Amino acid sequence: MKKAIWYESAGKKIDLSKVTRIYPAALIHAAGETASVSLEWAAMKEDVIILESYVLICDFDPIGEVPTNRVELRYITKEALFEAMDNIVKMLKN
């Protein structure tokens, strides 16, 4: 069993040792819908979307399964998202 590696952000506490996938995204509004999209796509379409926030998505389901057990950590700026990602990398290296 892996040792728990606790990360806290935005009032949420997650065990990084149980995360199976982690990736950044942009939460956007477009055509009356809300969706998580890649940061690159959001940047390309910034003139036709409304950016709500940046998110770091942490999935806990086994690889190959449809992810239904996830935590989304939301950030107002891309810089805050990148800082969180950097902090997580540092924690996982220790």
Q: Would you place residue 1 in the very low, low, confident or very high pLDDT band (cuts 50, 70, 90)?
A: low
Q: Tell me the pLDDT tens digit for each residue of 19-54.
A: 999 999 999 987 788 999 999 999 999 998 999 999
In a domain? residue 1 = no
In a domain? residue 38 = yes
Write out the residue range of the structural domain in which residue 66 sits: 6-93
Q: What is the pLDDT of residue 57?
A: 95
CA dist., res. 6 & res. 87, Å (int): 12
Q: What is the pLDDT of residue 53?
A: 96
pTM of the model: 0.85
Mean pLDDT, rounded, of the chain: 92
Query: How many domains does the chain fold into?
Result: 1
Share of the chain above pLDDT 70, in %: 99
Strands (E), 1-94: 6-9, 12-15, 21-30, 33-37, 50-59, 70-75
